[in-house]
Structure 1
């Protein structure tokens, strides 16, 4: 049985009953770019998968890796098991790639400086690596595209500006342009080069166009975006300007335009926001789509479909960003910049349906739109990707899709850059696993930490301190697929949003309210504390830790709370100063007597990083505990659920010798996490267990900050 066919109940099989006969895209594999490095190479170097293309047979992926100065190649003959084919040095910084058959056309930046740009087009066999030749382009290339019949190649020569020079704006010389070269016998004909002059067209810095992206339709017409100039040009294959027009502006409503870094507030507007399009894709011979990422003065957070005469056929406005918000991928720290930041596009027809794929660079998610009617695109799916998707390629002849995700966090000990592979097949969409779509109001969410099962069939979850100005209790309906956030209840104190909370655990008080465990940080004046909250979210009582505990404080405190016969039990994440190595406290507190106690829990001793606890939940005769390491991807070892007998929870007084409990492994969660086809995420944070023994588990997406934004919410039944 492959990981892809592992059967997890509930949310992992999201819409099996509703969509069993439907075609959907689902991720089936991921490939870490360091795997293409040769033996002996320093895998600690930063890598990146940026622009990606496929050979004509669809069996090989080729991507640009500018930090290493190479193109990387992946064998996807078996798409569920990608294999490394190694890197090829490009003698500069590769910026884009396009392929005809197995012949790769690679734009390579060799510039000495912004003011002295240079570059070349390298032509080689993608499989053997054999070089066919090079053409001097005379400037710094960005996007590369081939005509559909393979007769010519077009390159956007951006000659990008130095953002640190002067006011960092266009114009800055030398100006950019577009080059067109004939292709014959598998080689670009250097002496056929045509330079298309696109100066003097834009209203913004007409003397300094910066062509960003190019694409070619079935008529051989070339569309060019000039992002910084907020302008679009349509050229003939001979370089003649057929039409040109401003990309225009959009009035945005219901967005978060302020970087408060701690709350999701979609109440602001931005009138007249320049589109400043990045990627562009023809969807037929008369219409093309732009991803309106923005750069200097704009970014309209969505995408637009234009007719080639400049008429707007469709404008997404804030709708694309709304879809990103509902699946928990909204990057709040980018609110004052470009929000979800749509950057890359792809278009292809699968099984007779024309699809436009829109990538959110900062939200790390891909929107899939049916564009059968270019004036009325229909959103059909939101696909998870790695961090910062930069490139995307459709392989409809094999019913495959692949994304290149550029962010590599090796220097911070985080996840590596990845290429993700998706299959288009009969069956349910596996993602999202949790959404706020369909709620009475737009609910932004993320950083899910503690959870508890309610008597009403709902799951109640809290967010952590990433949203410090918006502590929230979410009501999740797990009976729907995907599970639905139907309500967001703010936690308040004295009539105002409660501050100085890091909610990491929640449990029912049996009277309609909750007890919340907050992980403190004394160096930031955030107390380690328990909070009693009523059904309206109002804090009615606060319990601080006793002095004998705080005398040995370490920042990593409460990571879960549960109640057993009126006594609260809290899991501490990691050792404090008085704990023996690889043992952490399970603390007890009686609200009736105000007495504290503790036992010791023996946790795993990791070879790398640390291991700690992240949740505790009582069910029947046991408490169930999530134990996890802080490792991610292939380095992940411990993501497990253990249980401890309630009879073993005999707390001793603080300051005395604490008894050590015995744990029993219940489930290894790594196979579950692998079943979504991506890398193993590090933060398994939430767990709730219903009366019938159904276990719900959730991951924390860190507020989409240095994270792919993926939240996995799934369930399984206890065996006993």
Structure 2
């Protein structure tokens, strides 16, 4: 009897201890990633008042690039979220030109700042997220367009686009800068000159070098950076060139360039609407090879496999002295390659589509044998180790937008929905992709549990022209629920979304 009582007493104690433990262990909420709804918004001004944002969990502050009138980073207090309080902004206009990007890690805010002379070296300004005091300003390459920290906080990486001047008389080298935080912010800036000898092989895979009088290193224009979870490698989109570079952060070397090829829009799976003058929205097959030209890139893993996801916006070089764009209606098409050229070039068919004038005359006889368009009108997933394409959204993303009744037919001739931003967050132990669609003011949400077969979940309406997309996990969120944030360049708003 005493033995039985002892067992009962032990069980009671165990139950009480278990209950106490549950009270003290944070519970990860079960959330439905198909149910995101807007829960808060703040208006920071007009066009260019809200571009890229970064969140600091320790101070519960959101930092948003605001270039409406001068180079500012707005500081938003989310400690009472969904109430948002705007604090005194960080004014960096005296330190350079335009602020392009922000990132946060371990109480540090990194701001990518281009030089007043856009073709000169830019800088990264590191600021304490609590005191807002400047820790360091570090010189990097020309036109740092994107900045990020490695997950372990040891490195700051910038994609330095190195854009030419409008008259194309000055074309700086594109580069990637690696800042070693622990080594007093020492910096190593890497250029792409060593890959010039491999250009023929890269070009065969769809890589482009085509700026007027530009050498290989000058023509390469890094756009966006994703870093592996072990903080050892960075993957950098080379948007105008149609490739992804792999960078070893530890040794400080560019390992390889992966050319991305083209998307065959003549396949039913890749159907598109190429005309804004056909009085209808209709996806169809057309004889066009479209260059992916990705903007944002994000890294994620499933099991032991590592992946990259890209937002295939498309981007043409458009300068005073050089504009590569041409309407199909203005080109001389090869009669053998395009036997129905006259019909094809009508405004209601392919005539209005913008293509590059720098590619397509394969036999150098003065007419176009192939038409190369801009952008993949969707997203792609690659194996991070091999660079092999695992999945492309084909026509699927645009079809979902059409189904939702928010497709903008005025953009059919010019890159469609224009996917620009992408990030991957984890919800319920599953990777979820959020893809910002600049031309339909929306975010597409996909379950990436099977990277070869992403599952569409929902479309979320945003402000005008979402530029930056940010996911804050539930354990770092100000109210304990996963938080999705869109920074909308067109109307200067920042919008906040949470799921049920």
Q: Shared fold by TM > 0.5? A: yes
- 1:165 deviation in Å? 3.2
- 1:268 deviation in Å? 4.8
Q: Distance in 2 between matches of 1:331 and 1:72?
A: 31
Q: Is the 8 A contact 1:261 1:332 kept in 2?
A: no
Q: Is the 8 A contact 1:111 1:140 kept in 2?
A: no
Q: Mapping of 1:477-492 within 5 angstroms? A: none
Q: Distance in 2 between matches of 1:149 and 1:89?
A: 28
Match of 2:71 among 69, 72, 83: 69
The corresponding residue for 2:291 is 274
Q: Is the 8 A contact 1:53 1:392 kept in 2?
A: no
The corresponding residue for 1:307 is 383
- 1:58 deviation in Å? 7.6
Match of 1:179 among 174, 177, 180: 177
The corresponding residue for 1:56 is 57
Unaligned stretches of 5+ residues in structure 2: 1-29, 210-215, 317-355, 357-373
Q: Distance in 2 between matches of 1:127 and 1:230?
A: 39
1:84 correspondence with 2:86: yes
Residue by residue over 1:173-192, the C-alpha shift from the partner in whole angstroms, topping out at 9 and shown as x without a partner, is 211010101113xxx834x2
SS in 1 for 2:271: strand
Q: Distance in 1 between matches of 2:278 and 2:40?
A: 33
- 1:229 deviation in Å? 0.5
Q: Mapping of 1:528-607 within 5 angstroms? A: none
SS in 2 for 1:369: strand
SS in 2 for 1:286: strand
The corresponding residue for 2:310 is 290
SS in 2 for 1:193: strand
Q: Is the 8 A contact 1:56 1:99 kept in 2?
A: no
1:230 correspondence with 2:232: no
Q: Is the 8 A contact 1:53 1:61 kept in 2?
A: yes
- 1:154 deviation in Å? 0.5
RMSD: 2.2
1:344 correspondence with 2:421: yes
- 1:329 deviation in Å? 1.9
Residue by residue over 1:294-322, the C-alpha shift from the partner in whole angstroms, topping out at 9 and shown as x without a partner, is 01241010010011221001111111111
SS in 2 for 1:278: coil
- 1:138 deviation in Å? 4.0
Q: Distance in 1 between matches of 2:465 and 2:432?
A: 21
Q: Distance in 1 between matches of 2:441 and 2:52?
A: 15
Residue by residue over 1:505-548, the C-alpha shift from the partner in whole angstroms, topping out at 9 and shown as x without a partner, is xxxxxxxxxxxxxxxxxxxxxxxxxxxxxxxxxxxxxxxxxxxx
Q: Is the 8 A contact 2:56 2:107 kept in 1?
A: yes
Residue by residue over 1:29-58, the C-alpha shift from the partner in whole angstroms, topping out at 9 and shown as x without a partner, is 111013xxxxxxxxxx75421111110348
Please identify the structure whose Cα radius of gyration is greater. Answer: 1
Q: Distance in 1 between matches of 2:31 and 2:112?
A: 42
Q: Is the 8 A contact 1:58 1:395 kept in 2?
A: no
Q: Is the 8 A contact 1:223 1:235 kept in 2?
A: yes
Runs of 4+ in 1 over 6 A off after TM superposition: none
The corresponding residue for 1:148 is 151
Specify whether residues 321 and 86 from structure 1 end up closer, same or farther in structure 2 by C-alpha distance, changes over 3 A only. farther
1:406 correspondence with 2:473: no
TM-score (norm 2): 0.71
The corresponding residue for 1:319 is 396
Match of 1:240 among 233, 236, 253: 253
- 1:395 deviation in Å? 0.7
Q: Is the 8 A contact 2:437 2:465 kept in 1?
A: yes
Match of 2:226 among 172, 194, 215: 215
Residue by residue over 1:382-441, the C-alpha shift from the partner in whole angstroms, topping out at 9 and shown as x without a partner, is 111100000011111231111100013xxxxxxxx100001122xxxxxxxxxxxxxxxx
Q: Distance in 2 between matches of 1:133 and 1:307?
A: 36
The corresponding residue for 2:452 is 375
Specify whether residues 84 and 369 from structure 1 end up closer, same or farther in structure 2 by C-alpha distance, changes over 3 A only. same
Q: Distance in 2 between matches of 1:423 and 1:145?
A: 24
The corresponding residue for 2:190 is 196
Q: Is the 8 A contact 2:106 2:153 kept in 1?
A: no
SS in 2 for 1:322: helix
- 1:347 deviation in Å? 0.9
- 1:108 deviation in Å? 0.3
Q: Relative contact order (alpha carbons < 8 A, sep ≥ 6): 1 or 2 greater?
A: 2
Q: Is the 8 A contact 2:59 2:129 kept in 1?
A: no
1:104 correspondence with 2:109: yes
Residue by residue over 1:87-115, the C-alpha shift from the partner in whole angstroms, topping out at 9 and shown as x without a partner, is 211123110111013310010011414xx
Q: Distance in 2 between matches of 1:270 and 1:283?
A: 34
Q: Distance in 2 between matches of 1:290 and 1:323?
A: 18
Q: Is the 8 A contact 1:330 1:340 kept in 2?
A: yes
Specify whether residues 26 and 128 from structure 1 end up closer, same or farther in structure 2 by C-alpha distance, changes over 3 A only. same
Q: Distance in 1 between matches of 2:226 and 2:32?
A: 31
Unaligned stretches of 5+ residues in structure 1: 1-19, 35-44, 409-416, 426-720
Q: Distance in 1 between matches of 2:284 and 2:446?
A: 26
- 1:172 deviation in Å? 6.4
Specify whether residues 392 and 131 from structure 1 end up closer, same or farther in structure 2 by C-alpha distance, changes over 3 A only. same
Q: Mapping of 1:356-505 within 5 angstroms? A: 356-396=433-473, 397=475, 398=477, 399-408=482-491, 417-425=492-500
Size of the aligned set, in residue pairs, is 377
The structure in which a higher percent of residues are strand is 1
- 1:266 deviation in Å? 2.6
The corresponding residue for 1:134 is 137
Q: Distance in 1 between matches of 2:291 and 2:412?
A: 16
